[in-house]
Amino acid sequence: MHYLLTETTPATIAPANQTDKAVKRTFNGIANSGKPFVYHGVRAIADLSDITFADKVPALLLHDRDKRVGFGVLSVADNQLIIKGELLDNEHGQALARESDDGFPFQMSVHIIADYEEKLSHGQTAVVNGQTLTGEITILRKCRVSEVSFTPTGVDNQTMAMILSQTHNQKENAMSNPNPPQKSGTVDEAVLARMTELTNQVQELTEQVQELTKERDELKAQKAKADEQAKTAEIEAQLSQKGFTKDNKGDWQGIDNATVQVLLSLDTDKAKTMIGSLSAPKQGLPEYLLSEQHGTGTGQSANPAPTNPLVANAKARK
């Protein structure tokens, strides 16, 4: 993966030696600050602990390999990538020196290739370049430098322009793509930290809302159940007042189950009205349907009446 990481710290070009035209013009600058940057909303950082580079690194203008302005030596100091080098005495090097002498604040941009990316998930932490970072963030590992360029404009010193190669895990020389398009952003690390903090707060609030919603739904269900039980108790009390009773199995006597279910499905006022229209159950001893007794000529009835157990018991006592 290819990245162009731009620093806004002005590059330093030594002033011309008016007495000795043969003395090479030198320069130095911070090629990479070692701090996080943002690209298209993705927070990332280049790990400088094992970054590699050649003994002499090309210095170009705008990452254009046809515009060579010098070469330099890279080093890592204070968790930053530093370059010190010399300008070429050619067209581009001379033009760069002249513009610098006129006060133009050139900045540095390093072209690095990351061997792989390590994704740090939300809430995870890692120490990179002496900083403790909290995810989400992408850590560029096993980086190597192909060249360093002078650029007329840069981005915030916490945010560098970077370009991804079209081929994932590309291993060819970075100079094979000398002029990749350059993207930039302007997000400060403090802003990133605040964004992360706010994101965490939003997540916590979302979880709290979900928990409160769950509790609300449970309370609504409990209330609905309690209301239903209260309504059932009131309707059954009205049935009892009307004279209906339950047997030892809990079934109502004198009223069919379908009617009871209809009553329970109504609100209490409608159920009360319907109960008021019901006929009260008959009280007293059970009725027995006796067959008509017709003489058969032998003194016996054709259809003898069923024996009433209460009557039979009374006769037995005589």
Does the predicted model carry a pTM greater than 0.85?
Answer: no
Q: Residue 255: phi, psi to the nearest 5?
A: -150, 135
Paired residues of 138 in beta bridges: 44, 119
Flag whether 314 is in a domain. Answer: no
pLDDT reading at 167 higher than 60: no
Residues 129 and 200 in one domain: no
Q: Tokens at residue 307, please? A: 């024996």
Flag whether 44 is in a domain. Answer: yes
Q: Averaged over 42-65, what is the pLDDT?
A: 92
CA 245, CA 223: separation in Å to the nearest integer?
28
When mean pLDDT is compared across 72-81, 131-140, 164-173, 245-254, the lowest value belongs to 164-173
Residues 151 and 196 in one domain: no
Of the candidates 260, 278, 296, which is a domain's last residue?
Answer: 278
pLDDT reading at 175 higher than 90: no
Task: Provide the percentage of residues in the chain whose pLDDT is more than 70.
Answer: 69
Flag whether 155 is in a domain. Answer: yes
Q: Tokens at residue 304, please? A: 């003898």
pLDDT reported for residue 10: 58
pLDDT reading at 254 higher than 80: yes
Flag whether 61 is in a domain. Answer: yes
Residue 243 burial class via C-beta count within 10 angstroms: exposed 0-12, middle 13-18, buried 19 and up: middle
Residues 154 and 198 in one domain: no
Task: Provide the percentage of residues in the chain whose pLDDT is more than 90.
Answer: 31
Residues 149 and 208 in one domain: no
Q: Averaged over 140-145, what is the pLDDT?
A: 93
Flag whether 57 is in a domain. Answer: yes
How many folded domains does the chain comprise? 2
Summarised one tens digit per residue, pLDDT across range 183-209 is: 444 445 567 677 777 888 898 899 999
The whole domain housing 45 covers 26-164
Q: Residue 143: phi, psi to the nearest 5?
A: -85, 150
Residues 158 and 216 in one domain: no
pLDDT reported for residue 291: 43
Residues 208 and 256 in one domain: yes
pLDDT reading at 284 higher than 70: no
Q: Tokens at residue 295, please? A: 């003489």
DSSP 117-169: EEEE-TT-EEEETTEEEESSEEEEEEEEEEEEEEES----TT-------SSTT
Pairing of strands 57-61, 26-32: unpaired
The per-residue pLDDT of the chain, averaged, comes to: 76
Q: Averaged over 21-30, what is the pLDDT?
A: 80
Q: Which of 306, 311, 304 is nearest to 285 (CA)?
A: 311
pLDDT reading at 310 higher than 90: no
Cα 291 to chain center, whole Å?
83
CA 247-248-249 angle, 5° bins: 90
CA 75, CA 85: separation in Å to the nearest integer?
11
Flag whether 63 is in a domain. Answer: yes
